[in-house]
Amino acid sequence: MSPMLEADFVIVGSGSAGSALASRLSEDGRHSVIVIEYGGTDFGPFIQMPAALSFPMNMSRYDWGFTSEPEPHLDGRVLVTPRGKVLGGSSSINGMVYVRGHARDFDHWAEEGASGWAYADVLPYFKRMETAHGGEDGWRGASGPLHVRPGKQRNPLYKAFVEAGRQAGFETTPDYNGSKQEGFGVMEQTIHHGRRWSVANAYLRPALKRKNVSLVNGFARRVVIENQRAIGVEVEARKQIQVVKARREVIVAASSINSPKLLMLSGIGKAAHLKEHGIEVVSDRPGVGQNLQDHMELYIQQESILPITLHSKLNLFSKAMIGAEWLFFKSGLGATNHFESAAFVRSKPGVDYPDIQYHFLPAAIRYDGKAAARSHGFQAHVGPMRSKSRGAVTLKSSDPWEKPAIRFNYMSHEDDWADFRHCIRLTREIFGQKAFDAYRGSEISPGIRVQSDDELDAFIREHAESAFHPCGTCRMGRADDPRSVVDPECRVIGVEGLRVADSSIFPRVTNGNLNGPSIMTGEKAADHILGKQPLAPSNQEPWINPRWRVSDR
């Protein structure tokens, strides 16, 4: 670290929103930007090779290593909460699945007080950030930094899954990121030329070539606030503590776990909680760390009677061959995340837009690469999209190095249990369609003996996992709403010169994976920060199933 570090804008975190912010705030050359990132380089095959996705989130080098507190409704299980500690943040360790979210999600944000964030307002930013290789004409971007492509679906099981959904009476969709999310179709990936297309590759590397952008490798301890104004960030690097000064603004984009933690360490949060840890109160915002949400999922696994799954590729020789092909040609089974079919469906009549998501995989294996089934198999990851359960991120002490307490409170609402039971039974119905007749063996998990509500609930308690979509802990809303942490321009309420822009500001979790909406948040926040007129709202109307009142399909 140099003797004096100062810039117009200081961004904490190089993740999905932070890298987009760094790029957009610096692109006209008029403002200097410093990005503070504690993690190291994202160079190397574990991150850049798409098929190696299970490795980085299990490596302390790349992951913050957070875990939940024992979850009371899941028999006290402690669940991992991976967050990227590396250039590109969680976009460098995620599953590379690209989902914008449903139009109704953003309309709900606006209804909750995040005015200017309705679907009509955010769609132009999704278009600005994308280069979509495929997708629906008029709905997708063609010249943005983020390359998005559909899965190639070379394994016949991918198409069998989509066809099974159609046979069960559900919609199909040519592009769930276009006008019609509802239905079964091809899943999209943030993969470009066979490599993980993280925000480090899409936004940050090009930005760092500019003279007005620099990267500081250090640990952000707190935001320095004087007279209710943020003036910099206290950073620790190599046992030295220094303040990185912001002439204009500090922007916290440190994740839905680290952003509320940093605000609380800086004196912004529920006054009683801060005083408990001896932290001087700068702004009493009881919403900081509250409203924590996530998606949960289960793996429903089926044996395959044909040897066409990834099971035969799990031996060392096959892995070496796949690795070599990827290393030299950036092609083959190493160049995909293997999530190439998807579905967004509604759980029952009266639900107006999808509330269940599917990822389909032609293997029976856990997300972390462990505990592969002993035979050829395939699986669907399935889970409800809009759980009513809410948790919180709180401090354990005033020590910046101590990990916060993360309590998701998973499955604390009784509706979650009914929703998950429906997900299991619906997946069995889909796997039971004619499209799978040539492939279907016995059910591996939960197993055919697990049928009653009580048996399904026991399976859920033991096996439900996080889909790694935590958000909501610095909720965006009206400035006069005590639950709000930031206003609709991402400004922290009660403190000048300080904003938060990442998934922590989401009022409610969006449908699907959160990398896309998080990048959009950085893109849109940059225009607010620069005082630019936001992009003109779209007048495009999303598709809503005309049968939604009477049928789930």
Q: Is 464 annotated as contributing to ligand binding?
A: no
Contact 288, 534 (CB under 8 A): no
Q: In Å, how far are 385, 438, 511 from 102, measured between CA atoms?
A: 11, 34, 6
Residues whose CB is less than 8 angstroms from the CB of residue 19 and which lie 6 or more positions away in sequence, other chains included: 35, 88, 89, 91, 199, 200, 202, 203, 204, 207, 522
Q: Is 22 annotated as contributing to ligand binding?
A: yes
Structure tokens at 55: 């490795």
Q: Is 27 annotated as contributing to ligand binding?
A: yes
Among 362, 357, 417, which Cα is nearest to 381's?
357
Q: Is 130 annotated as contributing to ligand binding?
A: no
Q: Is 33 annotated as contributing to ligand binding?
A: yes
Among 227, 253, 281, 232, which Cα is nearest to 474's?
253
Q: Is 235 annotated as contributing to ligand binding?
A: no
Active site residue 376: no
Q: In Å, how far are 31, 262, 492, 496 from 229, measured between CA atoms?
A: 20, 15, 10, 4
Q: Is 18 annotated as contributing to ligand binding?
A: yes
Q: Is 143 annotated as contributing to ligand binding?
A: no
Contact 172, 180 (CB under 8 A): no
Q: Is 11 annotated as contributing to ligand binding?
A: yes
Tell me how far apart the alpha carbons of residues 234 and 253 are, in angstroms, rounded to a whole number.
15
Tell me how far apart the alpha carbons of residues 73 and 411 are, in angstroms, rounded to a whole number.
6
Among 461, 452, 526, 514, which Cα is nearest to 489's?
526
Residue 61 identity? R
Among 309, 275, 220, which Cα is nearest to 38's?
220
Q: Is 294 annotated as contributing to ligand binding?
A: no
Tell me how far apart the alpha carbons of residues 345 and 342 are, in angstroms, rounded to a whole number.
10
Please confirm whether the linkage preceding 446 is cis (ω < 30° from 0): yes
Q: Is 445 annotated as contributing to ligand binding?
A: no
Q: Is 54 annotated as contributing to ligand binding?
A: no
Q: Is 97 annotated as contributing to ligand binding?
A: yes
Tell me how far apart the alpha carbons of residues 313 and 333 are, in angstroms, rounded to a whole number.
9
Q: Is 35 annotated as contributing to ligand binding?
A: yes
Q: Is 278 annotated as contributing to ligand binding?
A: no
**E strand intervals along 104-206:** 130-132, 146-150, 183-186, 188-189, 191-192, 195-196
Q: Is 343 annotated as contributing to ligand binding?
A: no
Q: Is 24 annotated as contributing to ligand binding?
A: yes
Q: In Å, how far are 200, 241, 250, 279, 392 from 17, measured between CA atoms?
A: 11, 26, 14, 28, 21
Catalytic member of 273, 359, 469, 528: 469
Q: Is 168 annotated as contributing to ligand binding?
A: no
Q: Is 316 annotated as contributing to ligand binding?
A: no
Residue 115 identity? S
Q: Is 32 annotated as contributing to ligand binding?
A: yes
> Counting runs of H as helices and runs of E as strands, what totals does the chain give?
13, 25
Q: Is 51 annotated as contributing to ligand binding?
A: no
In sequence order, what are the beta bridge partners of 191? 196
Q: Is 214 annotated as contributing to ligand binding?
A: no
Q: Is 13 annotated as contributing to ligand binding?
A: yes
Q: Is 37 annotated as contributing to ligand binding?
A: yes
**E strand intervals along 305-355:** 341-345
Q: Which residues are annotated as a binding site for FAD?
A: 8-37, 86, 94-97
Please list the active-site residues.
469
Residue list for the binding site: 8-37, 86, 94-97
